[in-house]
């Protein structure tokens, strides 16, 4: 990826990562104290072979501020595990508001963690966007809402992503973004811009022996 000054890039190649690739670590608002907590796979699990396995692994929510801890496991139904659906400005496991979200051109811009923020920044800042030969059906960048991709919004979106990156370094309840409880944003049903109330779609990923479907 070639870069220029000012945080913008000349070229971005989309290798087809989908949103699950960034779901290994999700920063959320702690349900106990309102500070920053983290949702990660339960300690001791083997590393997933595929990003999609992150949707089914048992999860642990932990807050370093107040010590709150919670657990999540995928539901078993009909011989298969019912996994999480990664959509909206809540984490898909505990339904807590994401810690990394902010208002941007009248919408809610959110991300799971710094890695997610950096990936979005590289894409939005690119003057030339290219795709690899992989099918883009589930690719995260192909599914971004159109308002994020518009050239006239580039500066605003990049500024908001810098805000999210700075927010990732904060953890006190008072640092919580207003967007984390703002219910006035219009509903955007694309994969990276939802208002606080927007829930994931009704269907669930199902994991049978041999892999997820």
Task: Name the band, by pLDDT with cuts 50, 70 and 90, for residue 142.
Answer: confident
Q: What is the distance between the alpha carbons of residues 10 and 165, in angstroms, rounded to a whole number?
A: 21
User: In this predicted structure, what is the pLDDT of residue 97?
Assistant: 96
Convert the pLDDT of each residue in 106-136 to its tens digit: 999 999 999 999 999 988 988 776 666 555 5
Q: What residues have CB less than 8 Å from 175, skipping those under 6 apart?
A: 35, 36, 167
Half-sphere exposure of 57 (CA within 13 A, CB side): 23
Convert the pLDDT of each residue in 151-199 to its tens digit: 899 999 999 999 999 999 999 999 999 888 654 444 444 445 433 333 3
pTM: 0.79
Domain boundaries, the chain: 5-212
Residues above pLDDT 70, as percent of the chain: 72
Task: Name the band, by pLDDT with cuts 50, 70 and 90, for residue 210.
Answer: very low
Q: How many whole angstroms from its chain centre is CA 199?
A: 14
User: In this predicted structure, what is the pLDDT of residue 3?
Assistant: 41
- Residue 205 pLDDT more than 60? no
Q: What residues have CB less than 8 Å from 151, skipping those under 6 apart?
A: none
Q: What is the distance between the alpha carbons of residues 189 and 195, in angstroms, rounded to a whole number?
A: 9
Task: Name the band, by pLDDT with cuts 50, 70 and 90, for residue 138.
Answer: low
Q: What residues have CB less than 8 Å from 199, skipping those under 6 apart?
A: 88, 90
């Amino acid at each position: 990826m070639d870069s220029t000054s000012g945080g913008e890039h000349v070229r971005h190649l989309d290798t087809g990562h989908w949103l699950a690739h960034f779901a290994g670590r999700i920063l959320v608002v702690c349900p106990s104290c309102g500070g920053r907590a983290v949702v990660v796979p339960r300690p001791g699990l083997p590393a997933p072979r595929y990003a999609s396995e992150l949707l089914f692994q048992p999860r642990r929510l932990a807050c370093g501020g107040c010590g709150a801890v919670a657990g999540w496991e995928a539901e078993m139904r009909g011989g298969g595990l019912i996994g999480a659906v990664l959509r909206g400005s809540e984490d898909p496991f505990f339904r807590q508001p994401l810690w990394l979200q902010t208002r941007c051109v009248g919408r809610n811009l959110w991300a799971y963690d710094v890695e997610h923020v950096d990936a979005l920044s590289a894409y939005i800042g690119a003057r030339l966007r290219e795709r690899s030969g992989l099918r883009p059906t589930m690719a995260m960048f192909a599914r971004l809402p159109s308002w994020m991709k518009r050239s006239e919004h580039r500066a605003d979106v990049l500024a908001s992503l810098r805000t999210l990156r700075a927010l990732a370094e904060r953890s006190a309840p008072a640092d919580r973004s207003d967007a984390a409880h703002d219910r006035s944003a219009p509903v955007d049903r694309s994969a990276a811009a939802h208002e606080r109330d927007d829930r994931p779609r009704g269907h669930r990923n199902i994991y049978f022996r041999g892999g997820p479907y």
